[in-house]
Each structure stands twice: as structure tokens, then as C-alpha cells.
A and B are shown apart, each in its own frame.
Chain A
Amino acid sequence: MSMTLGRRKGRPARPRTGNRARSKENRAAGLFLLPAFVGFAVFYLYPTGRGIWISLTDWNLLSDPKYVGADNYVEVAEDPLFWNALKVTAYFVFITLGVQVGVALLLAAIMVRLTGSVVVRALLLVPWLVPNVTIGLIWLWMLDANLGFVNHLMGKTGSDTHGFFASPDEALLSVSAVNIWAGTGYVALLLYAGMLQIPGELYESASLDGAGEIRMFFTITLPLLRPILALVMVVSVIGSFQIFDTIAVTTKGGPVDATRVAYYYIYQEAFTHFRMGYAAAMALCLVVVLGGLTYLQMRLLRASTSDLA
């Protein structure tokens, strides 16, 4: 899939002809867009409208919805658990992303230097291919306070045992560590592919100038990798905001709300307590928060387009 032809930016060509060609192109576009549009209209647009309506009602799915105006939003604003959920989520995303991208960068840089082995990369990728439910189970077992391998190992080395998922202080970090473990290989591979794009001559001339590995990493690799890094970050942030499966299997939001992230809280209100209106209101508030965040990230992405080429 090498495409070294032409350097023109992918701007749609301007047909020389007038209205007829234009309307033909309009029609073609309509056809091309139809399936995706149907999917969008039915499963994004309509549910968005309906979600807003649900958020204005008191509804348990069993009886008819009752219109309550902005009551749910007032409750959201006053609900310490909602704010706690946002805080916990933010903390989780921050830690997960920070460590994951850091470690992935290191691994990618090492692989570029040492080996292009498909086997090594495939092995690093294994956790990413496994469902989070299975991963949650494996780690719930590995980190069990009495029977878990990690505690056995710590016991052998004479250190104190840990509750991990059972401890309010360690639970979120444990969930975070599990997700880092599961996702780092994938991120490393994406970054590795990005690093391969950086022309080798840059390194050669830099090393002639006497630059060391670490300096080259910070002066060449990192700046030139920024567009890819930004994209990977966007994808990872979206992904880690949706943390649900691991928590559903391991901590169920506990202990004492320590891991009750936004997704899990909304899920509980909607499908454990069947407070659809309240859950929808919280979801909408989350959209607003996430929207702001994504906007910032997009700005970041744009700021970084001019680095290479």
C-alpha cells in the first residue's frame, strides 16, 4: 500500500462543467452516504433527542414516564456521588494515559532500536486482543488478598500483603494498572509504526553532531511523532473514559465509591435502580464535560500538524 505518487493535497477536484455534473455528484454523494446516514439518524440522532427527553422525566421503564422538568439536573448538580464519579474518572484517565503512553513510548523506542521482530510485537499485543471481562477475572485472581499470586510473591519476599481491589486506597490504582497492562502493547505498536516513518538520516546527522540516544529521542523522535501521538492520545482518552468492563468484574464501583467511575454510576442508576431519567441527565452532563475535553484535544491536534512535512 505504498503511495508515493503525487503531492497534491486531497482536495476534491472542481469539475469544469456546471449544474448537470454538480447534481450528478450530489446524487452520487447521497447514495454513498445513505447507509451511514440511516445508521446515524436512527442510532445517534434520534436517540440523542430521545435521551434529552428522557432526562426531563422520571421513568423506571415499567410505568409511563412522568415529565419533571429540570429536576434531574438539579439533582445531578447536588449529587456528591456524581461529582465523585467525575473525579474518579478523571483520576483514572490521567493515570492510565500517563503511564500507558510513557511506557509505550519507551517500548516503541526500544523496539525501533533493537528489533523489528513480529513475534515480539505479536506477544506484546496479546492482552489487547483479550476481552476486558477475561482480563478483569485474571487479575481479580492474581491480586486476591489471600490466594492471589502477587500477594504470595510479596509474602515470600517478606513484604506486607495488600488488598488491592478490596482497599479504597488501592482499588482505583489496581484497576488502572490492569488497564495499563492491557493497553500498553497496543499503544506501543501504534507508536512504533509512527517511529518507523521518521527518516533515518535525521538520526545519522544528529549522531555525527555527537547527540546521544536520549537526546535524539527528545529532539527528533518525540517532536516528529507528535501528530501520531496526539491521535493515539485522543483514541486512548475516549477509550479510557469508557472504563466499565474491568470495574464490573472486579470492584463493582467499590469499595466505598473508590472506583465508581462515571460510566459505572450511570449504568447502575439506569439498570440497577432503573432511574432512566436521572441516568440520562447524568449522561448528558458527561457529554458536555467530554465535549469540552475533546475540543481541547482537537485544538492540540491542530497545533501539531505543522511539525513534519
Chain B
Amino acid sequence: MSRPVIRRSLRSPAVRMSAVVAGVVLVAAGCGSGGSSGGGGGGSVKLKYSLWDDNQLPQYKKCAEAFHAKNPKITVEVTQTAWAQYWQNLTTQVVSGTAPDVFTNSVLYFPQFQKNNQILDLTSYIRRDAVDLQQYQANLADVWTRDGKRYGLPKDWGTMGVAYNKEMAQRARLTPQALDAWNWNPVDGGDFGRAVAAMTVDENGRTGLEPGFDKNKVKTYGLAIAYEGGAVGQDSWGPFAVSNGFQYVDRNPFGTKYNYTDPRLTQTLDWFAGLIRKGYMPAYDKQSTVGADGLLQSGKAAMTIAGSWMAKTYTADGKVAFAGMPTGPTGRKTPINGLSDAVYANGRHKEEAWQWVKFLASTECQDIVAGEAVVFPAITTSSARAEAAQQAAGRDMRIFTQPVATPGETFVLPVTDQGDRILDIVQSAVDRVWLGQTDAKSALGQANSDVNALLKK
């Protein structure tokens, strides 16, 4: 792929001269190059593995140790980079040829790596080592295939719920049962909309439902969501829009046309923007760097939308509990999102990398992951263990597992090409809606045609 380019440019005189300069520089710099992850002598191999969730770092370090104990010649170095920079880093590393041997992959970015042949087709390895694809939670494994080739093994899954402050809910006279059975619609907001208003309190102690509520002096916001939901709004508008009948793309995976102008989506976005206008949600232009999570934990917000993988963090101090997503006009919906591990196609130790991926997707590692009770592992038996571990830690995870057991309550996030650019375009448009600069219909009109023009290329 990139080889011919290198060879061609090395032939040019200027480059050769710069190679000479480089030699001089090397001496001048005195310290030589660091070199990348060294295979080196003795047959021992050092693999680099990267992930973004700091909450999962400990258990994967444990997996790496267990793996090393089984394969003393292979050491795995785990690095974590926050989601916001993870993909930027990874793409730069891929281009430089220095990407980690194995990395955690997301459906949002999977196609672009696949398209550029930067992740390894694992089909033959899977067949050779007879990995049982039936052991995983349904639908998780096949997301990582394209044109009959398989580019990853599933490692975990997560669904969404509503995290709420127990005390504030009580004050608003909302029982856990009522919260679990709530509904929502984009016209008057339904039970959910009422709950948001009831939990919003201004500095004079008036709730959002009471007359004289001062929206400019809010003490506690009823709801805080992640405004940077990208192209899918996984932890914000996404599940609501889908429960309103919205579908992101014409088909999934690898659809060719997005439906961002669908009124069922724009209605949803406008409803959320209305919450900001009414003072029930924090203003977009007064966001803190600590985000919705910090607002909930510091008592400045009463509710937020959060994934099952955040349950442990949120419930740590006992103030927060979870409720299921409200039932929308077409039912209760939550995205089910799984991750996989991908092998970098230009890595130097592909066989070892595959061994590590296989280990990550095996009961052995997934049981370790289950024990930490952060995410649900992809293997169904490990997943059951995780739920038991959560239960043991006093966390009721049923609101996250029930949708998976109920047909039609989960949906898979869209997988298409050009994911990174679509994300930028849609985020920009949705930002304008949050700011109240324009309504959703006019903001998304241009975005939708830009996005679909990209997909046609």
C-alpha cells in the first residue's frame, strides 16, 4: 500500500540529500531514535494494546497479566487514551505506521479502518482456531463483518438508562416504580418531561412545574445530557428519536443514505432544545469541562442519560440510581453497543496479536472483566457472571439487561463509511439547535445533504 510511495520518494535526490542531513542530525541529537515496540531477541514479543475507557483499564491490565502467565514470551502493554483523543491519536499512528498491535474498535470508526486495509481480516484465524461465534450475545459478532470478512471479535456490550439522584426524585414524589414505567413523547414530553420539570429547582426553591419558576437562577437542572453526541446521540437524543420511530439510515450496516431530515428526529431535537429554553437543562454555552457526569455528582443536575458501563462510577456514593429509558410513541428503545478488538494490519507481530485478541474474546479474560462489574462481557455466560457481580455489589442492573431480553427494545447504531466526517457535520448542526440559533429542521437540512453527498463519493 504505502510501500511504493516510500520507494519512489527515496529515489529523488532531495530526499537522499535529506537522508544525509538526517544522519548528521542523528549524531547531533546525540540520543538516537527511540525505536518502536521492540520484538528484539530471545523470541519475546511486546504487544501494544490501547483502549479508551479508564474505568476498564484495571481489568484489562489483569487480563494482560493472565495472558502473559499463559504465554510467557508475549508481554502486553496497555495504554488508555480518553475517547475525545483516542481516534485522533489512532489515525495519526496508523498513518505513521506506528499504531498499537491491537486496539479497541468502535462501530463508528470501524469502516474507515477496514476500507483503508488497516485492520486485519481475522476470518482465517478464526476458522483455524475454531472460535465459537455462538458463545457471544446475539448480533454482537456480525457487526464486525464486511463482504463476508470478519474484522474483530466482540468483547462487551452496553445499553442505556436514565441515571437519577434518588433524593431529588423522592422530593419530586417520583417512586422507582413510577420512573420505570414512564413514557415520553416529543409533543408534551409525557411522564419523562414532567419528571424533568419536577426535578428542576430554582434558587427560591420553586420547581419547574410551579408558577414563578425563575429559569435564569436554576439551582438544580432536571436533566443534563452530553451535548457532544456526534452523529448518533447515543447518550442523548438517539434513543428518544428512535423510540419516536426514527431510523438513522436506509439499512444497517453499511447504509448509503441517512435520514437526518426525518421529522421524528427533528421533533425530538426541538423538544430537547425546548428544555434548555425553559431552564430545565443547562445552557449549551455555559457547559463545564466536567460535563453531565460532574453535574449529576455535584447535585447541579438531577438526571442524565448514561450507559451500563457507567453504573459503577455513578452509584459509587449511593446517591444515584438507574431507571429504564422511557417508552416512546413506538416503544421503549435503547441502543445496544458492543466493542471489538482489532488487529493492526501493519503490525509486526500479527500472530501474537491474534493470540491476544482471541484471549480477550475468551471466557478466561471475559470472566475477569465480569468480576470487576463494569461492563457486560460479550460472552453470554460471562455476562451472567457480570450481572451477578453487580448484584453482589448492590447494583440492580435489570433495567440494562431487560431490553436485551425483550424483542424490539434494542437497536444497533449505524455503521457507515465516512463516519468521522459525518460526525463533524452532524455535531455542528446539532450544536446550533442546542444553542437555539435555529430549529432542528433547518439545521439538519443542509447537514443531511452534505452527509449523503459524502456517502455517494
Contact = CB atoms under 8 A, between A and B. Distances in A.
A272 B285 contact: no
Given A146-B300, A168-B285, A256-B431, A42 B290 contact: no
B406 interface: no
B116 interface: yes
A206 B268 CA distance: 72
Contacts of A274: 91, 95
Contacts of B75: none
Contact of B428 (A144, A256, A273): A256
A62 interface: yes
A170 B283 CA distance: 14
B420 interface: yes
A152 to B, nearest CB: 12
A271 interface: yes
Contact of B116 (A63, A146, A168, A272): A63
A154 to B, nearest CB: 12
A256 B287 contact: no
Interface string B378-394: 00000000000000000
Interface in A249-283: 254-257, 271-274
Interface string B278-317: 0000011111111000110010100000000000000000
A255 B431 contact: yes
A63 B283 contact: no
Contact of A166 (B92, B284, B295): B284
B138 interface: no
Contacts of B1: 62-63
Contacts of B289: 140-141, 144-145, 147
B92 A273 contact: no
A255 B420 contact: no
Nearest to A268: B424
A19 B203 CA distance: 90
Contact of B286 (A41, A61, A166, A257): A166
A254 B285 CA distance: 11
Interface string B76-101: 00000000000010011011000000
A5 B158 CA distance: 80
A303 to B, nearest CB: 39
Interface residues of A, number: 35
B18 A166 contact: no
B28 to A, nearest CB: 11
B288 A257 contact: no
Interface in B1-30: 1-2, 4-5, 14-15, 17-18, 21
Nearest to B288: A146
Contacts of A169: 285
B118 interface: yes
A256 B288 contact: no
B435 interface: yes
Interface in B83-130: 88, 91-92, 94-95, 116-118
A39 interface: yes
B432 interface: yes
Contacts of B14: 41-42, 45-46
A62 B17 contact: no
A131 to B, nearest CB: 18
A38 B21 contact: yes
A299 B271 CA distance: 56
B342 to A, nearest CB: 15
A62 B95 contact: yes
Contact of B290 (A63, A146, A255, A271): A146
A221 to B, nearest CB: 42
A146 B299 CA distance: 12
A192 to B, nearest CB: 36
Contact of A163 (B15, B91, B118, B287): B287
A62 to B, nearest CB: 4
A121 interface: no
Given A41-B14, A272-B91, A256 B283 contact: no
B431 A145 contact: no
B95 A61 contact: yes
A257 B285 contact: no
B94 A62 contact: yes
A75 B437 CA distance: 27
Nearest to B14: A46
A166 B95 contact: no
A41 B94 contact: no
B441 to A, nearest CB: 17
Contact of A273 (B94, B295, B421, B431): B421
A163 B285 contact: yes
Contacts of B5: 64-65
24 contacts: A38-B21, A42-B14, A42-B17, A42-B21, A46-B18, A61-B2, A62-B1, A62-B2, A62-B94, A62-B116, A63-B116, A144-B289, A145-B287, A146-B290, A146-B298, A147-B289, A163-B287, A166-B288, A169-B285, A254-B431, A255-B435, A256-B432, A256-B435, A272-B91
Q: Which 10 A-B pairs have the closest CB atoms?
A: A167-B285, A146-B288, A42-B18, A163-B286, A46-B14, A166-B287, A163-B285, A145-B288, A62-B116, A61-B95
